Structure 1
Amino acid sequence: MSFSFPWQTDVQYLKGIGPKRAFLLKKLHIHTLEDLLYFVPFRYEDRAELKKIAHLTAGKTETVEGEVMAVSLSETPRRRMKIVDVTISDASGLLHAKWFNQHYLKNYFKKGDRVMFSGLVKENYFGSRTIEMENPRYERVETDKALHMDRIVPVYHETKGFTSKQIRSVLKQVLARYADQIPEILPLLLLERYRLLPLFEAIQQIHFPEKETDIILLNQGRSPAHRRLIFDELFILQTGLALRKKGMSEKVSGIAFKVNGLSPHSLKKLLPFSLTAAQERVFSEICADMSKPFVMNRLIQGDVGCGKTLVALMSILVAIDNARQTALMAPTEILAVQHYLSLKAYLHALGKSVFLLTSDMRKKEKDEVLSAVASGNCDLLIGTHALIQKAVVFKNLGLVVVDEQHKFGVLQRVTLLKKGRQPELLILTATPIPRTLALTLYGDLSLSVIDELPPGRSPIHTRLHYGNKREGVYRFIATEIQKGRQAFVVCPLVDISEKLDLKAAVERFETFKTEVFPNLNIALLHGKMKRDEKEKIMTAFREGKINLLVATTVVEVGIDIPNATVMAIEHAERFGLSQLHQLRGRVGRGSEQSYCLMIADYPISKEGKRRLKAMVQTTDGFKIAEEDLSIRGPGEFFGTKQSGLPSLHVANLIRDVKILEVARKEAFDWVETHAMLEDVESRPIRDFLERKWRGKLEWLSIA
């Protein structure tokens, strides 16, 4: 088998492209021959049997061909919106197509042109039946009709100056030149086991399906060609993760901690409650990892309020008992301060030292912390990204805990881990991750789930109110505070935006203070405050000296105030679903009934309505995550830039979960039995993997 196929050839050197077209293709992230071959259509149109205009069905998306009879440009009197109106005929009747604010189309269409329109059919009856389309897709029908008509036609994402039609023409030439040379990637064993198309045939069929192909399956991404490319993409992804996991377990020597449980046991005696069975189970899994002579790389996942931080503290104590230093990195200064204040009392009671490092510390204070860390007199260092500064030098770092890891970039985690000699890594996340996504993002990690909340907690009541009901929400807050409770009000911005009509936290705070709650102790908390101010406010709120905390989303994670029973969220329609759920998790941490009151203002998008509805319907973080993934789509939820993983171009983590599970099993089995892909049979897989990941393999050992 030849491995010399020119995957990495720059597109400008391909027939029919050249430098100018290559520049346009690069706007679509098409740089190489491989990028072009894997530039999958986002939709397919059946132009095999075009309907006559007279036979079109209102309410359906149809495709017609006709001759341009008239082109006009008009303008609405009030909003001065420009409308291009094109009338076409196919002898059976007339169709009127309109485009709004695309006046340049007036010069695109010429009387006598043969054109194709595809769009939603509408009917109007003004004396007689009029057939219309608004903003339909359009193409001129030219001499290469066999490529663009009378068949199932692929539709691609476009860029200005390079249309879907032009992309089809280029691909036709490229496939004519290279299709039969495309080398196979997967071993014959897998092709036969899962009845997968050969790769060259799948690529040919994805771009130019045969007439008899089921167009419904094509548009659902479930055709045999799609299935083959999806399997490839997920198999390669999981192979990379499997390589990292195998490399970590076999090659990276760890510390092999002695786990005697002395300090964790002493900590349990200090607690006014017992650990849940889930916390005990997960701590046992961590201890088992830490006792092995290989580096731990474990993710602790659990819904808000399940007690992840306490499990992390017990793990920290195991490391300290072994004369190792520990670091806890939090995504925000407020959360770092929260961790410092809540853990300090326990650690001091056990004779352990803890320091806080933030970016806005005074030089003298910072130097004292850095000295304690360098000398080994600091057992636990808590901070934000300030921990990765060059000035931070540990004497003997043995455990790194990263809280809400999705808030950090991969390189930040790499930098912190490099401050020790193969330290253990423990990652905490309260952001629920659907199992499908966890398999993809964390396929090389050991995964623990705390799936149990502490006893005695009642489900949070979540209610949706609209802007005209704000006063009722405020009265409810006042009633709860009169009972001795505390409350949050969260606003999206710190300053009034000129672009978005939102109630900023600063403005809302002043209104509450002077008009709505003049007799209450109210404080404002936002990310632009100095550390001393934040620490002072958090301490006062925790001690009950503040009744109502007005804040931005800096309170999204980690703030733990058991006496707070109300979370009111202004402009809830502007927040993401995961973010709304995290904010809700700031209450419901005590024994009293708690409430999440979302205040929404019109207009609300379709996705916004889905988010708010999901919040009202469930408090289950994993169900919330599944819905969030469904709403946002895998690309945005996946966050590949932060994760350091390659993008998915064909696979859809919601639709393709069954293929993902199969591909994962096969990938891990293959890596286990094929010596890190060093054998000849694995060479095509390794070559493809290296091209796709381009150096990302190193990052995966740290999630």
Structure 2
Amino acid sequence: MDSLKEIIEKIEEPLLFSSKDSYKYLPLVKNLEITILNFSRQLRAVINMYEEQDLRQSIFRQTIDAFDDTFAGFDNLSLQDKIKRLEKGNLILYKLKESAETVLHNTFEMRSQTEVPEIRDVRFSFEKLALPVRFIKGVGPKISALLEKKGLRSVEDMLYFVPRRYEDRRYVSDIKSVTYGSRATVIGNIVKADTKIYGHKRVFEVTIDDGSGLLTAKWFKGNNLYLKRIFKNGMKVIMSGEVSSYLFSKDIVHPDFEIMDDKEDGDESLLHFKRIVPVYSETEGLHQKYIRKIMSQVIDRYVQYIVSPIPMEICEKRHLYNIQDALRNVHFPTKNEKVEAYNEMQSWAHRRLIYDEFFFLQLGIALKRKGNMLDKGVSFNVGGKISQIFFKILPYKLTNAQKRVLDEINADMEKTSSMNRLLQGDVGSGKTVVAMAAMVTACENGYQAAIMAPTEILAEQHYNVINNWAGQLGFNVVLLTSGIKSKVRKEIYSKIEKNDVHIIVGTHALIQETVKFAKLGLVVVDEQHRFGVIQRASLRQKGLNPDVLVMTATPIPRTLAMTVYGDLDVSVIDEFPPGRKEIKTKVFVEGQRNRVYEIIRGEIIKKNQVFIVYPLVEESENTDMKDATKMADHLQKDIFPDFKVGLVHGRMKSKEKEEVMIGFLNKE
């Protein structure tokens, strides 16, 4: 005879099939009533075999009875009635599974951080956490489909669906008492909701009255038809945001809001008021109140099954709170917490979750680093004749910092294991010449070297510099980018595969399958943060564990570098060549834009040049920023009409880019 678990799994199969794709296959299902009732009889037969009759078994029998009642007469129902019964049946099936667990196992008790759960309990916990979201109370097929779009497929996913921010609703203000510039939460009834036109702008406005005064909420962006549909006169709403003024009225622009329901019972309303309230990232079709209600049930029912494998001594050493308590408070902070700490993700609860995430990230990186050390690579002979010639043709001497990092790189290249090193240094510190020295070593040993840059413009700059050096050393260099014509590109592919070129400079084009290296020994990646691990790994796979050198100008503290680039050894060029000026980094906010323009103007008047790196080549619907072309036009016409503004981006033709760059070099 099958076990309880096996029978329940057999029941689950036709129910899942019938519910699949919004009940698409339900009309094809025949005799479901007979099938379910047959399995119910088998469940009763198994439960009767237990000698001990207790409350848990009694509850299990009652659940079976409810299941039978749900599917009684099912086959003769209309399609819509069948769907309703199936939704109810899926919930009861979940209760059956839960009841079966209580029959087979002792009741699972919450454990403190210092208690180690048994293997059986851990397995039981994992099964609970792996439950699909559709089995959470109040979550049917439609809601689960919406949650799955957000990547929330299991109970565990829901538990770690952390709020994006928090709203302090412990104190609701009277409209009369709120002050301009402060952040406030108010409750009132809608007295007016409509679109107004200011010049060429359409603004949706909702005016509320709480008996003490009026406040107007304004939306300058958004779907006005949608807003008009949801806001109706007489509705009670809660609004939260920064209070501003317009012609003596109190306004909140783009407020956070919720429509209040007078039918909510006391317990449910306490989820949304008189507390610090979590606000989750938007999920289309799901209101915040409904998400909070689901999350409250998930926390109450399932947080007890979360088990952290971080050793107790580490938790105690780092003063970390219990992971279950941390999850409870991340979702629903207690009343005495500071909302600022939660909004800044600096609360003790966030700290525990962040620590767990970084712990396992670093554990994974440590394992990868260990694996890299075991990978057999190329052992290069360093300091050869061509390397010595290279240093002699340089018009300057290397700085002590350059010599130090080059010694570190050479030591890596001599080893039989693959090099994995991060070379960090400000712009102008001399990273390229150090990378070139490493590439010369690889080529002198009969291997190819590749350097990959994030943009075609940067790749072309590298090519011009490297080709000048390589030509004096007898090495062939090619440039490979997606902008090169097909015929020329095929010729380059052939040369790379035949080992007719020593150094290949390129962009993402280097990691395409059509590029086959004859003998790749060294990979140099410029500006790692613009690529990512996958691209770096793709290029590395084109050689037999080639050495990897990653260059970055981003000023990263060593401790952070160990976190972000934990699988890499770190070398830092912390000294500038003679005559190079110090690099100063400053951050300006949007309100200081004119100040930045004045600094630029001042430099140009001093006969200096300025370049602006802009994030967008073309407009995006996800941001209201100008694209590079429009911004260049704006700067030329409106900001710097007395000076010449040029534009270079990756989508321009090579000839156009070259003309602009030559003009910049010639200070035109």
Q: Deviations over 1:139-184 (max 9, x none)?
A: 4152222322233322223334312211110011112221222222
Question: Which of 264, 271, 275 matches 1:151?
Answer: 275
Q: Deviations over 1:263-312 (max 9, x none)?
A: 32221111111001111011011011111121111111111111111101
Contact 1:70 1:88 in 2 (8 A): no
After TM superposition, give the deviation of residue 526 of structure 1 in Å: 5.4
Task: Please give the alpha-carbon distance, in whole angstroms, between the structure 1 residues aligned to 2:123 and 2:173.
Answer: 47
After TM superposition, give the deviation of residue 392 of structure 1 in Å: 3.1
Contact 1:16 1:173 in 2 (8 A): no
Question: Which of 373, 392, 395 matches 2:518?
Answer: 395
Judging changes above 3 Å, is the alpha-carbon distance between structure 1 residues 462 and 451 closer, same or farther for their aligned structure 2 residues?
closer
Contact 1:491 1:503 in 2 (8 A): no
Superposition pairs of residues 636-655 of structure 1, within 5 angstroms: none
Task: Please give the alpha-carbon distance, in whole angstroms, between the structure 2 residues aligned to 1:115 and 1:465.
Answer: 40
Aligned letter for 2:260?
R
Superposition pairs of residues 464-475 of structure 1, within 5 angstroms: none
Question: Which of 358, 365, 371 matches 1:241?
Answer: 365
State the match for 1:193 in structure 2: 317
After TM superposition, give the deviation of residue 352 of structure 1 in Å: 3.1
Judging changes above 3 Å, is the alpha-carbon distance between structure 1 residues 495 and 414 closer, same or farther for their aligned structure 2 residues?
closer
Task: Please give the alpha-carbon distance, in whole angstroms, between the structure 2 residues aligned to 1:255 and 1:471.
Answer: 49
Of stretches 344-353 and 274-283 in structure 1, the one that deviates more from structure 2 is 344-353
State the match for 2:45 in structure 1: none
State the match for 1:182 in structure 2: 306
After TM superposition, give the deviation of residue 472 of structure 1 in Å: 7.4
Judging changes above 3 Å, is the alpha-carbon distance between structure 1 residues 493 and 10 closer, same or farther for their aligned structure 2 residues?
closer
Judging changes above 3 Å, is the alpha-carbon distance between structure 1 residues 324 and 259 closer, same or farther for their aligned structure 2 residues?
same
Judging changes above 3 Å, is the alpha-carbon distance between structure 1 residues 241 and 409 closer, same or farther for their aligned structure 2 residues?
closer
State the match for 2:296 in structure 1: 172
After TM superposition, give the deviation of residue 423 of structure 1 in Å: 0.8
State the match for 2:99 in structure 1: none
SS at match of 1:268: helix
Q: Deviations over 1:588-640 (max 9, x none)?
A: xxxxxxxxxxxxxxxxxxxxxxxxxxxxxxxxxxxxxxxxxxxxxxxxxxxxx
Task: Please give the alpha-carbon distance, in whole angstroms, between the structure 1 residues aligned to 2:245 and 2:455.
Answer: 56
Aligned letter for 1:75?
K
After TM superposition, give the deviation of residue 402 of structure 1 in Å: 1.7
Of stretches 117-126 and 351-360 in structure 1, the one that deviates more from structure 2 is 117-126
SS at match of 1:386: helix
State the match for 2:145 in structure 1: 23
After TM superposition, give the deviation of residue 315 of structure 1 in Å: 0.7
Say whether residues 1:264 and 2:387 are aligned partners: yes
Superposition pairs of residues 525-674 of structure 1, within 5 angstroms: 527-528=650-651, 533=655, 548-549=663-664
Aligned letter for 2:438?
S
Q: Deviations over 1:470-529 (max 9, x none)?
A: 99789848x67xxxxxx6777969999899587669989999xxx9899xxx99865445
Contact 2:399 2:576 in 1 (8 A): yes
SS at match of 1:189: helix
Judging changes above 3 Å, is the alpha-carbon distance between structure 1 residues 186 and 524 closer, same or farther for their aligned structure 2 residues?
closer
Say whether residues 1:287 and 2:410 are aligned partners: yes
State the match for 2:397 in structure 1: 274
Say whether residues 1:11 and 2:130 are aligned partners: no
State TM-score, norm by structure 2: 0.67
Q: Deviations over 1:329-362 (max 9, x none)?
A: 2333343333333223433333333333444556
Say whether residues 1:140 and 2:260 are aligned partners: yes
SS at match of 1:44: strand
Contact 1:94 1:131 in 2 (8 A): no
Aligned letter for 2:382?
V
SS at match of 1:148: coil
Contact 1:97 1:136 in 2 (8 A): no
Task: Please give the alpha-carbon distance, in whole angstroms, between the structure 2 residues aligned to 1:389 and 1:117.
Answer: 52
Judging changes above 3 Å, is the alpha-carbon distance between structure 1 residues 106 and 317 closer, same or farther for their aligned structure 2 residues?
closer
After TM superposition, give the deviation of residue 234 of structure 1 in Å: 1.5
Contact 1:505 1:524 in 2 (8 A): no
Judging changes above 3 Å, is the alpha-carbon distance between structure 1 residues 245 and 494 closer, same or farther for their aligned structure 2 residues?
closer
Aligned letter for 2:553?
A
Judging changes above 3 Å, is the alpha-carbon distance between structure 1 residues 385 and 23 closer, same or farther for their aligned structure 2 residues?
same
State the match for 1:222 in structure 2: 346
Aligned letter for 1:19?
P
Say whether residues 1:36 and 2:155 are aligned partners: no
SS at match of 2:278: strand
State the match for 1:604 in structure 2: none
Identical counterparts, % of pairs:
40
Aligned letter for 2:277?
V
The RMSD of aligned alpha carbons is 4.3
Judging changes above 3 Å, is the alpha-carbon distance between structure 1 residues 44 and 386 closer, same or farther for their aligned structure 2 residues?
closer
Q: Deviations over 1:424-476 (max 9, x none)?
A: 11112234345565333211111111122210124589999789999978984
Task: Please give the alpha-carbon distance, in whole angstroms, between the structure 2 residues aligned to 1:428 and 1:358.
Answer: 19
Judging changes above 3 Å, is the alpha-carbon distance between structure 1 residues 450 and 77 closer, same or farther for their aligned structure 2 residues?
closer
State the match for 1:332 in structure 2: 455
Task: Please give the alpha-carbon distance, in whole angstroms, between the structure 1 residues aligned to 2:195 and 2:464.
Answer: 67
Aligned letter for 1:33?
V
Aligned letter for 2:470?
L
SS at match of 1:3: helix
State the match for 1:87 in structure 2: 209
Say whether residues 1:373 and 2:496 are aligned partners: yes
Question: Which of 531, 538, 547 matches 1:415?
Answer: 538
Contact 1:523 1:537 in 2 (8 A): no
- Note the residue ranges of structure 2 that are not aligned, 5 or more in a row: 1-116, 587-592
Of stretches 466-475 and 310-319 in structure 1, the one that deviates more from structure 2 is 466-475
Say whether residues 1:98 and 2:217 are aligned partners: yes
Task: Please give the alpha-carbon distance, in whole angstroms, between the structure 1 residues aligned to 2:486 and 2:245.
Answer: 73
Contact 2:449 2:502 in 1 (8 A): yes
Judging changes above 3 Å, is the alpha-carbon distance between structure 1 residues 516 and 52 closer, same or farther for their aligned structure 2 residues?
closer
Judging changes above 3 Å, is the alpha-carbon distance between structure 1 residues 217 and 262 closer, same or farther for their aligned structure 2 residues?
same
Question: Which of 327, 331, 334 matches 1:207?
Answer: 331
Judging changes above 3 Å, is the alpha-carbon distance between structure 1 residues 365 and 156 closer, same or farther for their aligned structure 2 residues?
closer
Of structures 1 and 2, the larger Rg is shown by 2
SS at match of 2:378: coil
Question: Which of 67, 75, 91 matches 2:196?
Answer: 75
Task: Please give the alpha-carbon distance, in whole angstroms, between the structure 2 residues aligned to 1:491 and 1:262.
Answer: 41
Say whether residues 1:315 and 2:442 are aligned partners: no
Task: Please give the alpha-carbon distance, in whole angstroms, between the structure 2 residues aligned to 1:138 and 1:536.
Answer: 55
Task: Please give the alpha-carbon distance, in whole angstroms, between the structure 2 residues aligned to 1:375 and 1:131.
Answer: 74
Task: Please give the alpha-carbon distance, in whole angstroms, between the structure 2 residues aligned to 1:197 and 1:7.
Answer: 21
After TM superposition, give the deviation of residue 256 of structure 1 in Å: 2.1
Aligned letter for 1:454?
P
Judging changes above 3 Å, is the alpha-carbon distance between structure 1 residues 535 and 290 closer, same or farther for their aligned structure 2 residues?
farther
SS at match of 1:328: strand
Judging changes above 3 Å, is the alpha-carbon distance between structure 1 residues 163 and 437 closer, same or farther for their aligned structure 2 residues?
farther
Judging changes above 3 Å, is the alpha-carbon distance between structure 1 residues 224 and 258 closer, same or farther for their aligned structure 2 residues?
same
Task: Please give the alpha-carbon distance, in whole angstroms, between the structure 1 residues aligned to 2:596 and 2:235.
Answer: 53
